[in-house]
Amino acid sequence: MKITFLDGSNKEFENGLSSYEIAKSISSSLAKRSIFALVNNQPYDLMRPINFDATLELITEDDPRSIEILNHSCSHLMASAITKLYPGTNFGVGPAIEEGFYYDFKTPNGENLTESDFELIEKTMHEIANKNYDFERIEVTRKEALEMFKDDKYKVEIINELPENETITLYRHGDFVDLCRGPHLPNTKFLKHFKLLNISGAYWRGDSRNEQLQRIYGICFFKKEDLDNYLVILEERKQRDHRRLGRELELFMISEYGPGFPFWLPKGMTLRKALEDYWYKIHKREGYQFITTPIMLNKDLWEISGHWANYRENMYISEIDKYEFAIKPMNCPGGILVYKSKLHSYKDFPLRLAELGLVHRHEASGALNGLFRVRTFTQDDAHIFMTEEMIVDEVGRLIKLFDEVYKVFNLSYTIELSTRPLEKYIGRIEVWDRAEKALAAACESVGKEYKINPGDGAFYGPKLDFKLRDSMGRIWQCGTIQLDMNLPERFDITYIDQNGEKKRPIMLHRALFGSLERFIGILIEHYGGAFPTWLAPVQLKIIPVNINYHTEYAKQLESLLLDKGIRVEVDLREEKLGYKIREAQTKKTPYQIVIGDKEVENGLVNVRKYGSNEQISLTKEEFLDKLLKEIESLGKETIIGGKSDD
């Protein structure tokens, strides 16, 4: 067989050799460092024989792609330890995730494990790993697999859903065998530096109608220092938890009278309004028209859109005048009704309709999580109507807008192009192919790389998903651009083309923040509550040294700043100066001005910036000018420190 390597060179090898044997023939050290291989760009176990001409790429532990294999193998190790401690445990699924892995399971006697059990499980995992078991790939028939897993109802359910003639693969290490597609590490000896992190409930297959299992999350690294660094980051994340900071900074609250329905407190509402103002400003510049659609609409609309048949269990239903109505879970149908309210021609395109639309979705109570998972939220939606020829230019323009906005918040991102699902999709394949090529061309037109996410498109069309990375290294799915081939057909929307004929427009759904609630939750943790000045609920705290002598000047300064739209507070409490300064720091107020005799006599301000020990003295006019420039530039220029690093 002929093997072609990454550099384009090729070499003949005997049929049936594994990637490991091929690597060893090149370099013993390369073989030792290799974790798995890509054979014809498909993941392959290092020890799996190759029997055909192929391209070969060896993935070592230094390659970021090896982390997923490491963590998935560690999920098997954890499952084997739980089986040893609790024989007869049934297992759901145990994938690698963005950070680490998890496994869902149910113990035979229904024991509820807790974090206090982690020490014993980890000890057992180390004992198993130290035996240096190989991960062995085994191919079996459906009948053989059903016999092997006859006592595990979850595995039986998965096996019965696989195609009739599909070869089923299992993986064995030691006495433990698991149903799995692979690939895996060559050996358990790589599994040394891991930590179990938390445990939660999880419905089987994510469906609240199914029974609840337990889910243990963990993380694994090749090097001890990487694990230690990660655990330090985890502690910092706890300090940045948006639920805790939301309380301390008086931003939002959740009441027992409305689980999943957040209340915005005055400071939180101020922050939200600043974000909305920015959103409106950039969308007005980009040629969007703004609409608002009703929060509740007749059942007939949701039947046309398909939500009644496919999403009803997540919708809140009511009756008005003996007709069924539903509170909207999405803004799209309302946006289409706005489009249909008048005739359109090709000259109207691209027609950009934007809406900060409040939606409601029934989420399981166990899934609720601060602002990250709620039952009511505001989507920053836009629906764009255009001709097919406009897709590349319009999507390219959108990508530039997304890039601009994410840079303002210092959020890096990657783009994934999700393509046609293998089975459940609507429309002709050739239309899908054109749509996918158009989205890819749009990325290329603005010089943005993208990763293909095969088969993960919505049933109604392909999409671009924007994965944001915050200051804690976490990945968030926020922005999305979706091409819809469903709703234009369902609602029979048209436009008049150059020849006076009716045509079906192309429809794009796009959200930049995703939802205001979730995005604000992300920002709270991303900034650790220390928001940039333009976004902060209170931008400036004025602190008189002596309220008997310095209050008048402080109030004059407050009036000047308020007239310019600055969000300012004056601290006139009978407290010590040091206490007031520390509290302003605790509340993460961007700037504090301390007013004493010198400032009153000379019309000056003594400025302190949050997180900095530096103080500067400016005239009040100089300070106001610099503060307004910082706010206007969205933090690109700062009073202390000059221009920002980004």
Q: So which residues are the catalytic ones?
A: 332, 361, 379, 381, 383, 463, 509
Q: Note whether 416 and 467 are within 8 A (CB).
A: yes
Q: Which two tokens stand for residue 478?
A: 């926020």
DSSP assignments along 573-604, one per residue: SSS-HHHHHHHHHHTT-SEEEEE-HHHHHHTE
Token pair 């436009």 is at which residue?
495
Residue type, 72: H
Secondary structure of residue 454 in the 3-state scheme: coil
Which is it for strands 591-595 and 540-544: parallel, antiparallel or unpaired?
Answer: parallel
Tokens representing residue 449 in the block: 């790389």
- The answer to whether the CB of 523 falls within 8 A of the CB of 272 is no
In whole angstroms, what separates CA 364 from the centre of its chain? 19
Look up tokens 């460092």; give the residue.
Answer: 33
| Tally of CA atoms within 13 A in the half-sphere of 366 that contains its CB | 11
Candidates 590, 404, 548, 558; CA nearest to 479 is 404
3-state secondary structure 43-84: EEECCCECCCCEEEEEEECCCCCHHHHHHHHHHHHHHHHHHH
CB 512 within 8 A of CB 401: yes
- Integer Cα distance of 47 and 464 in angstroms: 36
Bridge pairing between strands 604-609 and 591-595:
antiparallel
Nearest to 190 by CA among 296, 70, 102: 70
- Alpha carbon dihedral 449, 455, 457, 458, in 10-degree steps, equals -170
Give one word for 124, left, alpha or beta, with left for phi > 0 and alpha for psi -120 to 50. alpha
Residue 534 phi, psi dihedral angles, 5° rounding: -65, -25
Write the DSSP string, 389-400. GGHHHHHHHHHH
How far apart are alpha carbons 177 and 172 in whole angstroms? 4
Residue with tokens 């996410």: 453
**What distance in Å separates the CA atoms of residue 18 and residue 24, rounded to the nearest whole number?**
10
Q: What is the CA radius of gyration of the chain?
A: 29
Rounded to whole angstroms, how far apart are CA atoms 14 and 36? 20
